[in-house]
Each structure stands twice: as C-alpha cells, then as structure tokens.
Amino acid sequence: MKLVHLSDLHIGKMLHGYSLKEDQRYILHQIVEQVQRLMPDAVVIAGDVYDKSAPSGEAVSLFDEFLTELSEVKPVPEVMIIAGNHDSMDRLNYAGTLLKKLHLHFACYLPKTPEEYLQKVTLQDGYGAVDFYLLPFCKPGYVRQLFPEGAIADYHSAIQAMIEREQIRTDHRNVLVSHQFYTSGTEKPECCDSELPSLNVGGLDNVDVSAVRQFDYVALGHIHGRQRIGADHIRYCGTPLKYSVSESRYQKSMTVVTLGEKGTAPVIEEIPLHPLRDVRTIRGEFADVIVMDRSEDYISVTLTDETEMAYRPVEQLKERFPQLLEVNVDNTRTRSRMQPTEAMGVLQSPMELFAQFYRERHGYGLNAEQEAYIQEILDEIEEEVRT
C-alpha cells in the first residue's frame, strides 16, 4: 500500500505582501505529476488546505484545479483530506458527500453524537485491509459532549479519548491522519516563524504521541518543517513551499510511505519539491549585493556595510530583485542600537544620581562640602516623608 503524505498547503497565503498564487499553482502541478509517476493508492492531505477560513476566490479555484487534476490521474488514487485549524469546517466540507463518489474524502467534522464515529476509509492491497482514520483538527470543547463530565481536560485527553472510542481492528493496518501539535515527552517539534500566529506558546495545546503510537503510520499536519516526532512512523511532512524567511534553509518535499505486511516498519521516501521561485537570504555589503545576478526569487537582504549607506538602497535592490521581501541592516551600529545597555538595572541612590548629574552638567565633580549639604537636605526630605 503506497500513500503520499502532504499537508499545510495554505493555498492563498501571502508572503510579505506578495501573492504566492503562481508558486502554489506550480508546485501543486508538480505534485500531481509526481503522483502520476508514483501511482500511489492514496493521497493524504493532513489539514490547513487554505490559509484563511474564508479563502479568496482565486484560492478556491486553485484548489479546484488541483483536485480536478488529481482525479484525472490514472489509476485514480483515494484522496483523503482533513480540516486543519486554519480551515473553515463548513466551507471545506462543501459537496463532500457528492465528491465521495469521485474518490475524494473530506473529513471536516468531528462526531457530534455518540452514534457517530470518525470517518474511516478502508483500502485493500495484497496484504489485506488498511484502515485510514481521518481526525480533523480537534479542540477539547468540540468533543466534550461525547464523554462524561470532566473526562476531557485538555487536548491530550481529548485526542486520546477520541481514538479510544473507535473500534480499531488490530489485525488490519491502521493509518491515522491528524492535525495537532504533537510532542514526545519534553521533545517539541521544531517550529518556524510562519507558525507563530497560530501557536499557543504556553504549550497547553500539545498532545503527547503516546496517544497515537499504536497506529502503523501517523500522517500529521500543522508544523511547517518536515520532521519525525517521537518515532519514525509519526511524521510531519511539512509545507510544500517555504512560507517564511526562516524556512529558507529547509528542503521541501513530499513524503511517500509504503506499508508492507502488518508488523513491518513502513518505508519512508522523501521526494524533493522544486519551487517556481525559491525563498533565499542574501547577506553582504551593498556594493557586492547590487551586482549579483538578477533573480525572481523571494529574497531577504541583510546589508552589512559599516560605512554610510548608499542613497535609497531599498529601491535599487528592488530593481535587482523584484520579489524583495525585506531589507535589514546588520552592522556594528545597528547591533549596538539593538543591544540592551547594561547597568540599567542597578538603581542608584539619589546621592549618586545627583553626583553623576552634576558632573555631566559642569564637567567637574562635587566637593565634600556640597555633598554634605545635599545629603543634609535629602535626610530632611526623608524625615518629612516618614512623618
């Protein structure tokens, strides 16, 4: 059983004000080509299909194109999509029942009554049946009503309870598709800047991997950098494109998982994805940077000139790099400006402050007589305050 693991498409996202539509179209097309080449049995998209809960018209058309192309792949794979925290459950679920007939499975809603269960897609291969359990983004408040009072206290207990109530057949191979913030003990997944707005830094929304370890493979979404967490078969596949400057060093890819007989470890392959326009950082002096090759890539420039800057550097750089993301200056001057100065914390006594002040004003310090006089007044003030 071969499956392609994707997630966090974030269709419609803007990067520093630039629309990434063309890049996303390009990469989605690339993905479809790869899928055609690999001919997997299933394509799993683990959440965050759109970037906003009310995506723009263009984003919707783009996703429509993508799904249409996928459905024309021969043999047509089963496409399973779950809703992430950025998606609107209602919108993503549009025409879900109809699309089931066309091998597109949308799992956007969590069970609302005790009779409902998670959506399950069962596929067959040479070794038997493989059950795909589709668990959309879940907050404790969404599923509290299914369990007795007080059973669900946080995200971890919610996920755990949701999985336990499914009747999972241990003789089948089981795959879980989920979109949460998973941690393994104290190990946290590596995050980047593009996740910041949605992460709860207090760390209260994490789910420990112990809740999902029994699955043969866990296809995760939510974190934008590809990585494993807790075990080899529990993976985030990452975004298909770089969505922030901090990801410029990552290598984006599709994860292809081959499941063998029950009990064997799945075979993981990473197929690299090459974007239309890369996200890069350039660092150097202005004179060097300005003569680099013209590039359409998304570039973040850090200038290190110590001396006086050229006139209007940003405009000139924009001519070289039309998709300029940002210009930062990093030299001793800015470093010193951004550094917090020491000795701010120490609270000096009024006498010391006064001496310092006097010296600054006059250029010479206080003599003993003046000091004694000021001290006398300070004591008097203190006496008054006390009474």
Partner 1 sequence: MKPLKLTMSAFGSYAGVEVIAFDRVDRGIFLIAGDTGAGKTTIFDAIVYALYDDTSGGKRDGDMMRSQYALPDVETYVELTFLCRGVPYTIRRNPNFTRTSKRKDAEGNVKLTEQKARVALIMPDGTEWPGNRTVINQKIVELIGLDRAQFTKTAMLAQGDFIELLQANSDERKKIFSKIFDTRLYQTLQNKLSDRAGVLRQELEVLETEVQSAFRQIEGIAETGHETEWQELLSQSQTRRQELVALAEQVNMELTRFQAQQKAEQARLEEQHKQALRREEQGRQINEHFAALHQAKQAKAELDAREGEQQARRVQINGARRCQEVIGYETAYQKGKREVTSLEQQLTDTKKTFQQAQRQAETAERQQAACEAAYKQEYAPLLQKRNRLQEMEPLFLQLEQEKNNAQAIRKQQKQLEQAQAKYIQDARQLEQEKQTLQIQMEQCSSAPVRQLELEQEITQLKEQGSKKQNLYLKLKDWSSKKAEWETALKVRNQSVEQDNRATAQYNILSDIWVQEQAGILAADLREGIPCPVCGSLTHPKKAACSQKNISQAQVDTARTASEQARLFREKQEKEFASVNDAYQELTGQIRSEGSEITGSGYEPQEADIAVFYRDVREMGKQLKRLEEQLKMARKDVAFYQQGQQTRNNLEERLRQVSMEQDAIQQQLTEVSAQAGAAQAMMASIQERLVYQETPEETPSPITQSEAVQKQQGITETLHRLDADLERTRRQAKECAEHQNKWAGMVETSEIQLIKCRAEYEAGKQAYMQALAEHGFAEEAVYQSSKRTAAQLQQLEEACTAYENECSRIQERIERLQQETAGKQPVDLQQLGQLTGELETRRKQKEQSISRLGSMVDGNDKQLTQLKEKAEAGKKLGKQYDMVSDLARTVSGNLVGSGRIGLETYVQRYYFQEVLQAANQRLLQMNGRQFLLQCRSLDHLAGNTNVGLDIDVYSLVTDSVRDVKTLSGGESFMAALAMALGLSDVIQGRAGAVQLDTMFIDEGFGSLDEESRGQAIAILNQLSDGNRLIGIISHVRELKEQLDRQLVVKRTKSGSQSSWKLE
Residue from 271, 217, 207, 281 nearest 248 by CA: 281
Residues 198-217 contacting partner 1, CB under 8 A: 198-202
* Cα–Cα distance, 320 to 272 (Å, whole number): 28
Residues 6-65 contacting partner 1, CB under 8 A: 14, 16-17, 52-54
196 binds partner 1 (CB under 8 A): yes
290 binds partner 1 (CB under 8 A): no
Q: Are 135 and 178 in contact (CB under 8 A)?
A: yes
* Cα–Cα distance, 195 to 224 (Å, whole number): 7
Shortest separation between residue 326's beta carbon and partner 1, angstroms: 6
Binding mask 119-158 for partner 1 (x = CB under 8 A): --------------------xxxx----------------
DSSP, res 265: P
Shortest separation between residue 4's beta carbon and partner 1, angstroms: 29
95 binds partner 1 (CB under 8 A): no
Q: CB under 8 A: which stretch of 35-43, 227-235, 268-276, 336-344 binds partner 1?
A: 336-344
Q: CB under 8 A: which stretch of 55-63, 71-79, 194-202, 229-237 binds partner 1?
A: 194-202
Taking the least distance from each CB to partner 1, the nearer of 169 and 335 is 335
Taking the least distance from each CB to partner 1, the nearer of 32 and 289 is 289
Q: Are 156 and 211 in contact (CB under 8 A)?
A: yes
Tell me the two tokens of residue 184. Answer: 């393994």
Taking the least distance from each CB to partner 1, the nearer of 117 and 357 is 357
* Cα–Cα distance, 84 to 245 (Å, whole number): 23
Taking the least distance from each CB to partner 1, the nearer of 197 and 263 is 197
Taking the least distance from each CB to partner 1, the nearer of 231 and 353 is 353
Sign of CA dihedral 134, 139, 141, 146: positive
Tell me the two tokens of residue 211. Answer: 């809740």
Residues contacting partner 1: total by CB under 8 A:
50
* Cα–Cα distance, 118 to 162 (Å, whole number): 8
Burial class from Cβ neighbours inside 10 Å (0-12, 13-18, 19+) for residue 31 reads: buried
Binding mask 343-382 for partner 1 (x = CB under 8 A): -xx-x--x--xx--xx-xxx------xx--xx--xx-xx-
* Binds partner 1 by CB under 8 A, chosen from 210, 334, 352, 375: 334
Residues 309-328 contacting partner 1, CB under 8 A: 309, 313-314, 326-328
* H/E run at residue 335: helix 332-338
For residue 338, the tally of other CB atoms under 10 A from its CB is: 8
Instruction: Give strand pairing partners of 2.
Output: 258
* Cα–Cα distance, 48 to 8 (Å, whole number): 5
Residue from 217, 132, 222, 152 nearest 182 by CA: 222
Q: Which residues bind partner 1 (CB under 8 A)?
A: 14, 16-17, 52-54, 139-142, 196-202, 308-309, 313-314, 326-329, 333-334, 337-338, 340-341, 344-345, 347, 350, 353-354, 357-358, 360-362, 369-370, 373-374, 377-378, 380-381
